[in-house]
Chain A
Amino acid sequence: MRSARVVLVGYLVLVVAGLAYFAALGVLHR
């Protein structure tokens, strides 16, 4: 299960970083 936890964290980081990046693009270009 440890490897699944690593994958879970990978997905969460990807989604949160992606959302933060796209929000920043919106805010910076508004």
Chain B
Amino acid sequence: MKRVLRDNGLSLAFGMLFLATLVGQAFAGHADFNDRQLAQGGEQVTLVDFVTSSAFGVDVAENWQSEYLQFFLYIFGTVWLVQRGSPESKNPDEVGLESDRAQRTGRFAGPESPRWAATGDWRTAVFSRSLGLVMGGIFLLSWAVMSVAGWAAHNAEQLGQRQDAVSWLTYVGSADFWNRTLQNWQSELLAIGSMAVFAVFLRQRGSPESKPVGDPHTTTADTG
């Protein structure tokens, strides 16, 4: 048991922190929602009402979509774009999908390679893109869910202000949808760009996200 916890510390710790902060968001979001209801002369809702409302759904989904977009873009972008000197980047002469030998696919797969890396057919093609496909797929799903929950929340607000409800299509062209979307995207893109270049000149001893402390600033693609 102790070994399982240590071997999976990163994913388990972040998973637990995620659940704790989601609960925190539910409480804070509930209080904020009721404050606004009070200001607008609306009815107060219970915590259960709030966590089963589209207002809570859209707030969670809008952040999920942008985080998965961030990782998808980072995974995909680092195949084709490099940052000389960054541990987050590969070497400038390795841009692109690289050779089968370098990637140990098809006939270059070893005895311990995943089965789908060795087949050399469509399975290798799919497995070679599986990380990006799953992260990109979750991004698209989260964004779609955000649009549906946001649509319902937007219409609830419209009705509360005695205004007409709008169609889903109208909602995805609305200022509310794009404001929610872009306010999250901008922060993710800023964080990715700054991480790529900060790590050229700054170090975090012991972190695989950083180069070893004594590495020259010119060294690319080294982690430690």
Contacts and interface: CB of A to CB of B under 8 A. Distances in A.
B11 interface: yes
Contact of A25 (B8, B54, B64, B144): B54
A7 B148 contact: no
A17 to B, nearest CB: 12
Contacts of B72: none
Interface of A is mostly: helix
Given A4-B7, A25-B52, A30-B155, A19 B15 contact: no
Interface magnitude class on chain B: 20 to 34
Interface magnitude class on chain A: 10 to 19
Contact of A26 (B4, B15, B148): B148
Given A3-B8, A11-B15, A22 B151 contact: no
Interface in A5-30: 7, 10-11, 14-15, 18-19, 21-23, 25-30
Given A19-B141, A22-B57, A27 B7 contact: no
Nearest to A25: B57
14 contacts: A4-B11, A10-B15, A11-B11, A19-B141, A22-B61, A22-B145, A23-B57, A25-B57, A26-B58, A26-B145, A26-B150, A29-B53, A30-B54, A30-B151
Interface of A: 3-4, 7, 10-11, 14-15, 18-19, 21-23, 25-30
Interface of B: 4, 7-8, 11-12, 15, 52-54, 56-58, 60-61, 64, 138, 141-142, 144-146, 148-153, 155-156, 168
